[in-house]
Structure 1
Amino acid sequence: MAADPRQERIGATVLSLGATVVAGLEWLDRPQPGEFVETGPDWYVAFNVALHGAILLLLLIALARLTHIVADRPDLRALFLGLILVGTLAAAYLVGRDLGLV
């Protein structure tokens, strides 16, 4: 059974907006230069990496399936492309922050 494009649009929107909001909150809570930061427990860091990595993976899948997602509404192609790309960048920022790269 094929997935409903409307459901995929809703899923991509929720994932993208959720990743963007969480990335914005993480960016606002970033430490000041020179400030000491305590790391969280290992299980918590691993859970965050897995969660944010899964969100990033699902957004990349949504990007690959963009033509199917907007098959019945081609006028929404640019909107969803931008939405998914912003969400992907936000999720990549979260994964980078979890891994200590950012």
Structure 2
Amino acid sequence: MAGVGGAYVWGGSDYMAWDCSGFVSYVYAQSGVNLDSYTYSMVNQLTPTANPQAGDVVFTNNYAHVGIYLGDGQMVSALNPEQGTQVTAVDGGGMMTVDGYYTSPALG
């Protein structure tokens, strides 16, 4: 949650200056889990889960967007240059399609 308010920077993966996959890879790296900072390869590094828990990864919009699940239908993610990093509904208030939830075997 310390990253909420961070800027959206295309291709970025630095603290408070990241895109969606850079944000997720940065947060997971803080727990010692190295993930690619590219959404489409990140999904292959994780395990699908039907029982998402806070801290799991959620992919949306045909795997073009990724964030960290907070529970209760909420996620935190770097959205775009105008909105930056913030907490939203996983479906973006009906604007995003949820593709799936994933967990890291390294954290289990």
- Give the TM-score range, shorter chain: under 0.3
Larger Rg: 1
- TM-score under structure 1 normalisation? 0.26
Give the structure with the higher percent strand. Answer: 2
Structure with more relative contact order (C-alpha pairs < 8 Å, separation 6 or more): 1
